[in-house]
């Protein structure tokens, strides 16, 4: 058994197609299929369900996949650490894959900026994900770290570094009848045409529970998985929306939108970085954790 066999298996599980997996690995389809069959023979178990097309992994194959993902992640981390020893004067190199809940995406540049100040050769892949997708991504090593809620739903024994507390405002167009108010109740907000995140997002579940606590169940006029799309619809389509309070500070002075704190109930949840709890820690992940532990927005309020 060698690393390439494991790489081919992980690619096949990800692509769910032999030809696409082979293309992702820069080999021919017969080469990929042959090396996976060789892995089956070496381990003495069937890994792939046999058929004219890819039909999934066997029960044994699913277990082999878990080990393959772990081994490959450790293999990558080992190379990162050895590279750091070899070129310690120049910092770390490599790519960090990050997943973030939509409401936290505007925060990520503050973290990546701090990482790159110390390690300018680190690059990033950043994906908008639900909290559930972040947990799955950490489990199968498709992402290195996530930015998600820490205190609303279980985070399954992950290491957590708090970043900020998310509170909520009603965002309305500047000419809206609520625009001059200092605060709005959730019950009052429920009476408006609303744009909200989709129901698979933890932010939406938080908002739904707040409305339920206020004794109301609004039916949103628009649902999206993008906070920026929500903001644009408030500004251009005269919808109202419930979004994190910090967005009003992050986006600067916008005469077209007013953010009004929501009350009755008061709602606040901790958001932070989550990573696998493992030792040794991959050098790139360690650098990102360090940036999170010294998180600063240079005076922009997140409260």
What is each CA distance from 198 to 127, 207, 222, 229, 257, in whole angstroms?
16, 11, 9, 12, 22
pLDDT confidence bin for 298, thresholds 50/70/90: low
**90-163+271-293 shares the fold of 3-77:** no
What is each CA distance from 58 to 13, 61, 65, 221, in whole angstroms?
11, 5, 10, 44
Q: What is the mean pLDDT of residues 65-88?
A: 74
Q: How would you classify the pairing of strands 159-173 and 257-263?
A: antiparallel
b or e along 22-42 (b: 16 or more beta carbons within 10 Å of the residue's beta carbon)?
bebbebeeeebbebbeebbee
Give pLDDT tens digits for 130-148.
989 999 888 888 899 999 9
Give pLDDT tens digits for 106-134.
889 989 999 998 888 899 999 999 989 99
| Architecture of the domain defined by 164-269 | 3-Layer(aba) Sandwich (3.40)
Residue 86 pLDDT > 60, yes or no? no
Structure confidence at residue 90 (pLDDT): 56
Domain spans in the chain, listed from the N-terminal domain onward:
3-77, 90-163+271-293, 164-269
Quote the radius of gyration of the chain (alpha carbons, Å): 23
Model pTM? Answer: 0.71
As a whole number of angstroms, the longest Cα–Cα distance in the chain is: 72
Give pLDDT tens digits for 224-242.
988 889 999 998 988 999 9
Residue 261 pLDDT > 60, yes or no? yes
Which CATH homologous superfamily contains domain 90-163+271-293? Periplasmic binding protein-like II (3.40.190.10)
Give pLDDT tens digits for 191-228.
999 999 999 888 999 999 999 999 999 999 999 988 88
CATH number given to 3-77: 1.10.10.10
Helix, strand and coil percent figures for the chain, each rounded to 5: 45, 20, 35
């Amino acid at each position: 058994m060698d690393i390439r066999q494991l790489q081919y298996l992980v690619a096949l599980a990800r692509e769910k197609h032999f030809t696409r997996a082979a293309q992702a690995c820069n080999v021919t389809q017969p080469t990929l299929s042959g090396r996976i069959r060789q892995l089956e023979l070496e381990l003495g178990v069937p890994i792939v369900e046999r058929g004219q097309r890819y039909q999934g992994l066997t029960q044994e194959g699913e277990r082999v996949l878990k080990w393959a993902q772990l081994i490959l992640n450790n293999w990558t981390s080992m190379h990162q650490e050895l590279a750091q020893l070899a070129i310690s004067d120049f910092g770390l190199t490599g790519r960090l894959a990050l997943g973030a809940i939509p409401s936290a995406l505007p925060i990520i540049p503050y973290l990546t900026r701090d990482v790159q100040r110390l390690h300018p050769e680190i690059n990033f892949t950043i994906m908008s994900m639900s909290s559930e997708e972040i947990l799955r991504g950490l489990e199968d090593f498709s992402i290195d770290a996530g930015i998600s809620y820490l205190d609303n739903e279980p985070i399954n024994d992950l290491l957590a570094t708090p970043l900020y507390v998310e509170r909520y405002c009603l965002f309305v167009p500047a000419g809206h009848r609520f625009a001059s108010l200092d605060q709005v109740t959730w019950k009052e907000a429920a009476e408006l045409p609303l744009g909200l995140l989709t129901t698979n997002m933890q932010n939406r579940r938080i908002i739904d529970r707040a409305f339920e606590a206020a004794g109301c169940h609004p039916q949103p006029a628009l649902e999206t998985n993008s906070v920026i799309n929500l903001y644009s619809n408030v500004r251009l389509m005269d919808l109202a929306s419930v979004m994190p309070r910090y967005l009003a500070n992050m986006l600067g002075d916008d005469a077209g939108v007013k953010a009004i704190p929501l009350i009755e109930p008061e709602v606040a949840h901790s958001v932070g970085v989550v990573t696998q709890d493992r030792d040794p820690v991959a050098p790139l992940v360690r650098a990102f954790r360090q940036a999170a532990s010294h998180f600063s927005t240079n005076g922009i309020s997140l409260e």
